[in-house]
Homo-oligomer: A and B are copies of this chain.
Amino acid sequence: MKQIPYKIYLEESEMPKYWYNLRADMKTKPAPLLNPATGAPMTAQELGGVFCEELVRQELDDTTPFLEIPEEIRGFYKMYRPSPLVRAYCLEEKLQTPAKIYYKFEGNNTSGSHKLNSAIAQAYYAKMQGLKGVTTETGAGQWGTALSMACSYFGLDCKVFMVKVSYEQKPFRREVMRTYGATVTPSPSMTTEVGRRILEAHPGTTGSLGCAISEAVEAATTNPGYRYVLGSVLNQVLLHQSVIGLETKAALDKYEIKPDVIIGCAGGGSNLGGLIAPFMRQKLRGEADYRIVAVEPASCPSFTRGIFAYDFCDTGMICPLAKMYTLGSDFIPAPNHAGGLRFHGMSTTLSQLYHDGYMEAVAVPQVEVFQAAEQFARVEGILPAPESAHAIKVAIDEAERCKQTGEEKTIVFGLTGTGYFDLVAYEKFHDGKMTDYIPTDDDLARSLSKLPKLR
């Protein structure tokens, strides 16, 4: 067997030429999006008013297993991909574990996260459609940053509605987006009707993701030549993110490594769905078996404490209904520091797979997550994003168990991004001021009582 380097880099010629569409191999397909007004499945025409045409096609296609990655997107991918699959030799030594730990590091680009994989694809299809620009919302800022970079590359205008509290607390995120030429508007704003309405009703509000979505959708549908784009949850996003898993699998195959456990953090599912895609394919086809573990924050535990039902994707209840594990669109997670893992629901595809027993899920409290993050940073060098640190925490737990049992398991986890913009959270952690917020059963019962009743 070839000697395994610290970092496995594929050659450019080994990079994926196709995205893999997980749904094609699912026996039970994810349930369709429903029109909230009629209860009927959303049509391509209905979706086309908001989203780009080709992206609507991808969203609705649950039968084609492989879609060719356009040449232009592959060209852009080459600027920062292949991303390295790193053998965590130093962490293994520190833990004194017989386990072998690998991580796929997606933070090696200026956006600092895996979000760029889908941002560039969505910007490309917007460009191909001859659009002037796109609109979106951003909370933590990873998606907005990635989309700004992608739009800059294709010369598209990019309007980002940033949750006001983040806009004020994360000025650096805002400046990166401006560097790439995006317009960043704190939400709620006076630039949209819905924004003005919300500001009138709640003058001092610091905004919410739900409100920012509403503004971005309005801006897309009222400005000719614009469409709305989204960085997670949707099937199209999981499709684009499959590049993470395809590269991971190609790198492992190259060195004849077979993972036992695959671990990823899960907010809306963009990273996890991408990382596990080709492994889940084998599992769905009965060709191989793996343990697949979704990690979510204990403060926003949609898989582990939510229910599997149709719900709104946004707080404003203007978007289609999706069948997913949800805490209720009314659920407001306590202020944790993993902004990318604060969505009340979960990708419909991942929800169906979890429901059908193909995946496990675990919820972890944030202080332990930051302990794992710091432990990891000190030995592996990389400063992880709080979101990514959820996966680190569970990978370390797994490796510790191997130490007890003596098992030489191979663990693969997704390191989705870097924590350069999350140092306020690290500061709190260092100063011992970080706490854990875990919703009570009553909290959840309350928000779950408001699920839409389908006719």
Seen from chain A, the residues whose Cβ lies within 8 Å of a Cβ on chain B are: 5-7, 9, 11-12, 78-80, 90, 108-110, 112, 149, 152-153, 171-172, 175-176, 178-181, 374, 377-383, 418, 420-421, 423, 426-427, 430
> Does the CB pair B176–A423 fall under 8 Å?
yes
A220 to B90, CA, bound (A): 29
Contacts A5-B11, A90-B153 known; 4 new A-B pairs at CB < 8 A: A149-B381, A175-B423, A179-B374, A179-B426
Closest residue of B by beta carbon distance from A173: B423
How many copies the complex holds: the figure is 2
> Does the CB pair A171–B423 fall under 8 Å?
yes
List the B side residues contacting A181 at CB < 8 Å.
Answer: 378
A418 to B109, CA, bound (A): 10
A383 to B179, CA, bound (A): 9
Closest residue of B by beta carbon distance from A90: B79
Which of B5, B110, B179 makes the CB contact (< 8 A) with A418? B110
> Does the CB pair A420–B172 fall under 8 Å?
yes
A418 to B112, CA, bound (A): 11
A381 to B179, CA, bound (A): 10
> Does the CB pair A381–B78 fall under 8 Å?
no
List the B side residues contacting A80 at CB < 8 Å.
Answer: 381
Which of B5, B9, B108, B421 makes the CB contact (< 8 A) with A420? B421
Q: A110-B382, A426-B175, A427-B171 are in contact. Are A180 and B6 (CB under 8 A)?
A: no
List the B side residues contacting A418 at CB < 8 Å.
Answer: 110
A418 to B107, CA, bound (A): 13
List the B side residues contacting A383 at CB < 8 Å.
Answer: 110, 176, 179
A180 to B423, CA, bound (A): 13
> Does the CB pair A430–B178 fall under 8 Å?
yes
List the B side residues contacting A171 at CB < 8 Å.
Answer: 423, 427
Q: A175-B427, A175-B430, A423-B172 are in contact. Are A180 and B110 (CB under 8 A)?
A: no
Closest residue of B by beta carbon distance from A108: B108
List the B side residues contacting A179 at CB < 8 Å.
Answer: 374, 377-378, 383, 426, 430
Tell me how far the C-beta of A93 lies from the nearest C-beta in chain B, rounded to whole angstroms.
Answer: 11
Which of B6, B381, B426 makes the CB contact (< 8 A) with A110? B381
Q: Which of the listed residues A12, A109, A175 has the most CB atoms from chain B within 10 Å of its own CB?
A: A175
Tell me how far the C-beta of A21 lies from the nearest C-beta in chain B, rounded to whole angstroms.
Answer: 27
Closest residue of B by beta carbon distance from A420: B420
Closest residue of B by beta carbon distance from A370: B179
List the B side residues contacting A110 at CB < 8 Å.
Answer: 377, 381-383, 418
Closest residue of B by beta carbon distance from A78: B6
List the B side residues contacting A152 at CB < 8 Å.
Answer: 378-379
Tell me how far the C-beta of A236 lies from the nearest C-beta in chain B, rounded to whole angstroms.
Answer: 22
Closest residue of B by beta carbon distance from A9: B9
A416 to B171, CA, bound (A): 24
Closest residue of B by beta carbon distance from A374: B179
Which of B6, B108, B420, B427 makes the CB contact (< 8 A) with A79? B6
Tell me how far the C-beta of A252 lies from the nearest C-beta in chain B, rounded to whole angstroms.
Answer: 18
> Does the CB pair A180–B427 fall under 8 Å?
no
A418 to B12, CA, bound (A): 24
List the B side residues contacting A420 at CB < 8 Å.
Answer: 112, 172, 420-421
Tell me how far the C-beta of A185 lies from the nearest C-beta in chain B, rounded to whole angstroms.
Answer: 15
A9 to B12, CA, bound (A): 11
Closest residue of B by beta carbon distance from A77: B6
Tell me how far the C-beta of A250 lies from the nearest C-beta in chain B, rounded to whole angstroms.
Answer: 16
> Does the CB pair A79–B172 fall under 8 Å?
no
Q: Which of the listed residues A5, A78, A112, A378 has the most CB atoms from chain B within 10 Å of its own CB?
A: A378
Tell me how far the C-beta of A232 lies from the nearest C-beta in chain B, rounded to whole angstroms.
Answer: 21
A112 to B176, CA, bound (A): 16
A178 to B181, CA, bound (A): 33
List the B side residues contacting A9 at CB < 8 Å.
Answer: 9
Tell me how far the C-beta of A187 lies from the nearest C-beta in chain B, rounded to whole angstroms.
Answer: 20
A7 to B421, CA, bound (A): 26
Closest residue of B by beta carbon distance from A427: B175
Tell me how far the C-beta of A101 lies from the nearest C-beta in chain B, rounded to whole angstroms.
Answer: 14
A380 to B109, CA, bound (A): 10
Which of B12, B153, B172 makes the CB contact (< 8 A) with A379? B153
> Does the CB pair A380–B79 fall under 8 Å?
yes
Tell me how far the C-beta of A253 lies from the nearest C-beta in chain B, rounded to whole angstroms.
Answer: 19
